[in-house]
């Protein structure tokens, strides 16, 4: 799967986001034409116990998907995270973060992460992180 096909898939997947600014993040394994998407996530809302909406950024959502796909659900949370990080270090993964326009889904926008997400991503061993502009 080439990078253009990955970005096109990400544009379509980002449309699933219920938020005004639609973001998608994909974790990709491999290089060149052998690339494949192994985890995906888009920004969304979650409710807390007091029924307040909070947003989950796409970078966090894709890491949750990666953890769920590569660890045992029987392990405690902190061990699942450590296991997923160790698995990522053994292999070569890229992240692609896509933001699409509000009215024109074919046009991408600047998708640089917030400070919190950027800090969170530095804890993981991505070979490269790509952002749309």
Residues 61, 13, 32, 63, Cα dihedral to 10°: 0
pLDDT at 52: 67
User: In the structure, what pLDDT confidence band is assigned to residue 98 with cuts at 50, 70 and 90?
Assistant: very high
Please check the confidence at residue 103 and state whether its pLDDT lies above 90.
no
Q: The whole model's pTM is what?
A: 0.90
27 alpha carbon, distance to own chain's centre: 6
Residue 13 has pLDDT above 80, yes or no: yes
Give the pLDDT confidence of 24-71 residue by residue, as tens digits: 999 999 988 889 999 999 999 887 666 667 889 999 999 999 999 999
pLDDT band at 108 (very low <50, low <70, confident <90, very high): confident
The per-residue pLDDT of the chain, averaged, comes to 90
Which residue segment(s) compose the domain that 18 sits in? 3-131
Distances (CA, A) of 5 to 9, 31, 34, 68: 6, 13, 12, 24
Q: Among all chains, which residue has been given the structure tokens 């809302």?
A: 45
Rounded to 10 degrees, the C-alpha dihedral 100/102/107/113 comes to -30
Q: What is the mean pLDDT of residues 120-127?
A: 92
Q: Give the pLDDT of residue 101.
A: 82
Expressed in percent and rounded to 5, the helix, strand and coil fractions of the chain are 35, 30, 35
CATH number at residue 22: 3.40.140
CB-count burial class (<10 Å; 0-12, 13-18, 19+) for 17? buried
Number of domains composing the chain:
1
Q: Could you tell me which residues come within 8 angstroms of residue 128 by beta carbon, excluding any fewer than 6 positions away?
A: 94, 95
Q: How many CB atoms lie within 10 A of CB 2?
A: 10
- Mean pLDDT of the region 103-122: 85
Residue 51: the pLDDT is: 64
């Amino acid at each position: 799967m080439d990078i253009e096909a990955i970005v096109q898939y990400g544009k379509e997947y980002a449309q699933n986001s219920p938020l005004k600014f639609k973001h998608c993040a994909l974790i990709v394994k491999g290089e060149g034409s052998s690339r494949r998407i192994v985890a995906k996530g888009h920004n969304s809302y979650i409710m807390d116990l007091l029924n307040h909406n909070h947003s989950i950024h796409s970078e966090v959502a894709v890491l949750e998907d990666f953890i769920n796909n590569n660890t045992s659900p029987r392990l405690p949370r902190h061990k699942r995270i450590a296991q997923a990080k160790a698995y990522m270090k053994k292999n070569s993964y890229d992240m692609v973060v896509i933001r699409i326009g509000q009215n024109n889904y074919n046009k991408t926008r600047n998708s640089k992460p917030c400070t919190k997400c950027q800090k969170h991503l530095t804890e993981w061993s991505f070979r490269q992180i790509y952002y749309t502009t």
